[in-house]
Structure 1
Amino acid sequence: MFGIDSSEFLLVAFVALVVIGPKDLPKAMRVVGYWVGRARAVSRQFRQGFDNMVREAELEEMEKRWAAENARIMAEHPASTSDAAPSTEAAPTDTEHEAVPVMTDKPIMVDHPVVEPSDADRPAPPREGASS
C-alpha cells in the first residue's frame, strides 16, 4: 500500500513491541486503527467531492452542447404553419368525388349483423342405436 515490504513491517512491529510494551500495544493499535480509519474517511469524502465537481462540469458542458445543437436544428428547420397539428374539420369535397372520412379521437362503433348458421352448417345429431 505505502511501499512497505513484509520485512520492513515486521521490523516496525518488533520495535513497537519493544518500545510500547506488550501491555499497552493493543491500546496503541486501536488508536492507530482509529486514525487510519479517519484518514480513509477524509480521503473518501475528498474523492467524492472531486468526482461530484467533475460530474457537474461535464453536465454543464453537455447542456451547452445540447443547447447549441438544438439552436442549429431549429435554425435549419424553422417552424411553419404547415407543421401545425392536423385539422379535425372535414375538408371541402368536390361533388364528383366521395367524401374522405376524417380521423377523430373518438372510436367509431359499427354494428355488424348477427349471422345465424344455416342447417347445413350444423352437425347432425347422433342416431339412436349407433355405436360411437
Structure 2
Amino acid sequence: MFDLGAAEILVIIIVAVLVIGPNDMPLAMRHAGRWIGKVRRVSSHFRTGLDAMVREAELEDMEKKWKAQNEAIMKQSAKAVEEEKGEPVMTGPPPVSETPKAANAESAAQKAKPAEPAPSPSKPSEPESPAKPQG
C-alpha cells in the first residue's frame, strides 16, 4: 500500500519517540490504532458497496445477453420446425382461453351440494337419559 521498508519504519519510530515522548507513546499508539481501524472499516464498507454495484451491473448485462441469445435460438428452432412441418409454430406462452360454460356449471353444482357428514366412529350408541318425572 505505502511500500514502507524497515529503514523508513525505524525513522518514523525514532521521530515519534522524540516528538511524543516515551511516556505518552502508548496513548498515542492507541489513538492511532483506533483511527486506522475506523479508516479501514469505512474503506471496506465503501469497497463492498462498489463491488456489489459492479456485480449487479454485470448480472444485468449477462441477463440481457442470455435473453437475446434465447430469443434468437427460439426463432431459429421455430423456423426449422416450420420448414419441417409446413405450419407456423407458437414460440411464446400459450394464449389464455375462457373456460367452457359446462365446466363452470359443474363447479357451481359442486359448491351448492352440501357436504356429507363424516361417518361416526364405531362406538355403540348410548341410550338417551330418561326424562325426569314431573311432580
- Smaller-chain TM-score bracket: 0.5 to 0.7
Aligned to 1:8: 8
- Report the residue type matching 1:69 in the other structure: Q
Secondary structure of the structure 2 residue equivalent to 1:26: helix
Between the aligned partners of 2:36 and 2:71, the Cα distance in structure 1 is 52
TM-score (norm 2): 0.55
- Report the residue type matching 1:15 in the other structure: V
- Displacement of 1:72 in angstroms is 0.9
- Displacement of 1:47 in angstroms is 1.4
- Displacement of 1:3 in angstroms is 2.1
Between the aligned partners of 1:43 and 1:27, the Cα distance in structure 2 is 25
Give ranges in structure 1 of 5+ residues lacking alignment: 82-132
- Deviation per CA, 1:10-59: give whole Å up to 9, x if none: 11111111111111100100110111111111111121111111111110
Between the aligned partners of 1:63 and 1:30, the Cα distance in structure 2 is 49
Aligned to 2:57: 57
Query: Which protein is bigger by CA-based radius of gyration?
Result: 1
Between the aligned partners of 1:71 and 1:30, the Cα distance in structure 2 is 61
TM-score (norm 1): 0.56
Q: Give identity over the alignment, percent.
A: 51
Between the aligned partners of 1:72 and 1:8, the Cα distance in structure 2 is 62
1:92-103 to 2 correspondence within 5 Å?
none
Question: Whose RCO is larger (CA < 8 A, sep 6+)?
Answer: 1
Aligned to 1:20: 20
- Report the residue type matching 1:3 in the other structure: D
1:1-132 to 2 correspondence within 5 Å?
1-78=1-78, 80=89
Give ranges in structure 2 of 5+ residues lacking alignment: 79-87, 91-135
Q: Aligned-residue CA RMSD in angstroms?
A: 1.8
Aligned length: 81
Between the aligned partners of 1:80 and 1:5, the Cα distance in structure 2 is 72
Secondary structure of the structure 2 residue equivalent to 1:18: helix
Secondary structure of the structure 2 residue equivalent to 1:77: helix
- Report the residue type matching 1:76 in the other structure: Q
Relative to its length, the structure with more helix (as a share) is: 2
Secondary structure of the structure 2 residue equivalent to 1:3: coil
- Report the residue type matching 1:34 in the other structure: R
